[in-house]
Amino acid sequence: GENVEQHPSTLSVQEGDSAVIKCTYSDSASNYFPWYKQELGKGPQLIIDIRSNVGEKKDQRIAVTLNKTAKHFSLHITETQPEDSAVYFCAASKDQAGTALIFGKGTTLSVSS
Amino acid sequence: DAGVTQSPTHLIKTRGQHVTLRCSPISGHKSVSWYQQVLGQGPQFIFQYYEKEERGRGNFPDRFSARQFPNYSSELNVNALLLGDSALYLCASARGLPYEQYFGPGTRLTVT
């Protein structure tokens, strides 16, 4: 089955710096890759996603890149702010009925002002 | 529009008891999935329902069961609770399959 590895497990940056979180997946049939942000005491919030027919997607300060050949994808956050502090999860799935999102173990991002 | 709602927010049960967790999807969403999140880990898939039919099942024992109602809300049932069932149980809804999944706030279950 699919396995998703996520690195680093913790990341500390200064406000205004960029942050990059990387994930690798094992199943070459996976074709949908969402990223979720989870704040303390809340459920995961979908922040951006990418499908395998696209190499990069941006939404304001966040961007996701996908390398299908290497089976890895990354989340980039620019101009980080204290409110970006949270746990970030990557996930992968085949994007078809009955298939689950397979999550990485998460990255705790701390942005200090 | 209201997001995914789950009830109860928290509950404490004793080993061997049974628990029912409830989920209401976003209006217009017909798919509900259940995930278990143990502290410090990513969510793990339990069930997926679409149009009241089970469409996927994760690697969980038969003590776990679920159903989806005509109004697309869903229940997750866990029998014979074990200490290891203590976790945050998350419900996610989607317009259909396959579409983006949106999570609720979760139900924190503690088994003592």
Tell me if the bond preceding B8 is cis, omega within 30° of 0.
yes
Distance of alpha carbon B103 from alpha carbon B112, whole angstroms: 26
Distance of alpha carbon A68 from alpha carbon A24, whole angstroms: 10
Distance of alpha carbon A106 from alpha carbon A80, whole angstroms: 18
Q: Which residues contact A3 (CB under 8 A, 6 or more apart)?
A: A25, A26, A27, A102
Q: Which residues of B touch A43 (CB under 8 A)?
A: 4, 90, 103-106
Distance of alpha carbon A112 from alpha carbon A80, whole angstroms: 9
For residue range B1-31, what is the model confidence (pLDDT) as tens digits? 689 999 999 999 999 999 999 999 999 999 9
Are B90 and A44 a contacting pair at CB < 8 A? yes
Q: Are A64 and A35 in contact (CB under 8 A)?
A: yes
Cα distances from A3 to residues A72, A91, A98, in angstroms, run 12, 9, 17
Tokens found for residue A74: 């990354």
Q: Are A25 and A3 in contact (CB under 8 A)?
A: yes
- Give residue A100's pLDDT: 86
For residue range A18-66, what is the model confidence (pLDDT) as tens digits? 999 999 999 999 999 999 999 998 999 999 999 888 899 999 999 999 9
Mean pLDDT is lowest, of A79-83, A86-90, B19-23, B99-103, for B99-103
- Give residue A38's pLDDT: 98
Answer yes or no: is pLDDT of B94 > 80.
yes
> H or E segment at A103?
strand A102-103
Band of residue A98 on the pLDDT scale cut at 50, 70, 90: low
Answer yes or no: is pLDDT of A1 > 90.
no
Distance of alpha carbon B82 from alpha carbon A91, whole angstroms: 28
Distance of alpha carbon B92 from alpha carbon A64, whole angstroms: 22
Are B44 and A103 a contacting pair at CB < 8 A? yes
Bridge partners of residue B47, in order along the sequence: B34, B57
Cα distances from A15 to residues A7, A23, A48, A63, A112, in angstroms, run 20, 23, 21, 18, 6
Are B98 and A97 a contacting pair at CB < 8 A? yes
Answer yes or no: is pLDDT of B65 > 80.
yes
Are A43 and B41 a contacting pair at CB < 8 A? no
Sheet holding A56-59, edge to edge: A4-7, A19-25, A72-77, A62-67, A56-59
Encoded amino acid at B65, one letter: S
A70: distance to nearest CA of chain B, Å?
Answer: 23
Closest in A4, A46, A99 to B56, CB measured: A99
